[in-house]
Structure 1
Amino acid sequence: MASTDQQFSQAAQHWDLETLYADLASAKGKRLTPVEKLHLRGLLCSYSPSEIAEQLGKNVNGVETDLCASIYRYVKSLVNKCNEKVENWRNIAEWLEEAGYKTQSSATVDANQLLPEKSIVNITKINIEQNQLVIDINLRIPTAQDAEQLVQDLNFKNGIDT
């Protein structure tokens, strides 16, 4: 059986778990137990309490009772919804997302997939100016001869001497 830190680990890809654990510990008054963290990660991965129980080989009623007695209470306290009822287990992730615990997803694309073959990318200078990282890049992208002719034609029409 996998360690409790590895189960539902995909939650870490979309949630700031360390900050969330710390803030929930403050709401609880002491650190979260490994089981509480595990159940929370299951919810954040969009597993229902019954699916969490199934994944962990636990009794469904036991997981639901644990969630009601712990995670649901701590989250409600953390997001100032103490007087609201948890209508659905999905409320927990929604409330935590509204509170800013969900990380912004960033798509990463390999630049080599975007550029045609034989493209050349040179970084010519890296500076920090007025609290900004400034990167000067020289990018050379090969074009077809037709494209070069098109640029010359456009320049000629616009009165630019090439």
Structure 2
Amino acid sequence: MTATDEHFGEAASEWDLETLYTDLASAKGKRLTPVEKLHLRGLLCGHSPAEIAEKLSKNGKGVETDLCATVYKYVKGLVDKSNGKVENWRNISEWLEEAGYKSLSSAKVQGLELLPEKSIVNITNINIEKNQIVFLINLRIPTQLSSDLPTENLGEDIFKGLQ
């Protein structure tokens, strides 16, 4: 983790940042800079450009100008809103959530707790093949077993809880 990764680190618990960085780099044509990543994480944490500037001890107008020239432009290209206007900085996180970059919230199954801050669901590709829509999904769900749960029938108990 670099020094700039320490700021707005909570974005990593709710967003698939690595995939988002990769996809935005494709939209940009080259890798995002550390400052672009930092500003993006600030937006994803729900901070306005002025709040991002304040937390980073920067000029508010400078951060807003940087966002308009970089992150806003890349996100618009990524989510196919090239003709759309970023009317509010909140549009960025809304568009990215609609595009599937936000991790899904938790669910509880009998005896098994899913950890929302670590769970990641990402649709990596959508294709139409032979009159079918095919989704490629990357699903990572860390689990923690309850200590009082017997493990010999764990699989059966989990599937009963899902029915």
CA–CA distance in 1 between the matches of 2:55 and 2:95?
Answer: 24
Question: How many corresponding residue pairs?
Answer: 122
Distance change (3 Å), C-alpha of 1:136 and 1:23: same
Amino acid at match of 1:19: T
Aligned to 2:75: 75
- 1:7-36 deviations in Å (ceiling 9; x for gaps): 000000100000000000000000000000
Unpaired runs of 5+ residues, structure 1, are 112-118, 127-134, 138-162
Helix, strand or coil at the partner of 2:149: strand
Aligned to 2:117: none
- Once the two structures are TM-superposed, the CA of residue 121 in structure 1 deviates from its matched residue by 3.0
Correspondence list, 1:40-119, <5 A: 40-106=40-106
C-alpha contact 1:21 1:32 (8 A) present in aligned 2: yes
TM-score, normalised via structure 1 length: 0.69
Amino acid at match of 2:28: K
C-alpha contact 1:11 1:44 (8 A) present in aligned 2: yes
Helix, strand or coil at the partner of 1:100: coil
- Once the two structures are TM-superposed, the CA of residue 3 in structure 1 deviates from its matched residue by 1.4
Q: Give the greater-gyration-radius structure (CA).
A: 1
- 1:43-75 deviations in Å (ceiling 9; x for gaps): 000000000000000000110000000000000
Helix, strand or coil at the partner of 2:150: strand
Sequence identity (%): 68
Helix, strand or coil at the partner of 2:6: coil
- Once the two structures are TM-superposed, the CA of residue 136 in structure 1 deviates from its matched residue by 3.6
Amino acid at match of 1:121: L
Aligned to 2:13: 13
CA–CA distance in 1 between the matches of 2:51 and 2:91?
Answer: 16
CA–CA distance in 2 between the matches of 1:73 and 1:94?
Answer: 15
CA–CA distance in 1 between the matches of 2:77 and 2:148?
Answer: 54
Helix, strand or coil at the partner of 2:39: helix
- Once the two structures are TM-superposed, the CA of residue 99 in structure 1 deviates from its matched residue by 0.3
Runs of 4+ in 1 over 6 A off after TM superposition: none
Aligned to 2:34: 34
- 1:57-103 deviations in Å (ceiling 9; x for gaps): 00001100000000000000000000000000000000000000000
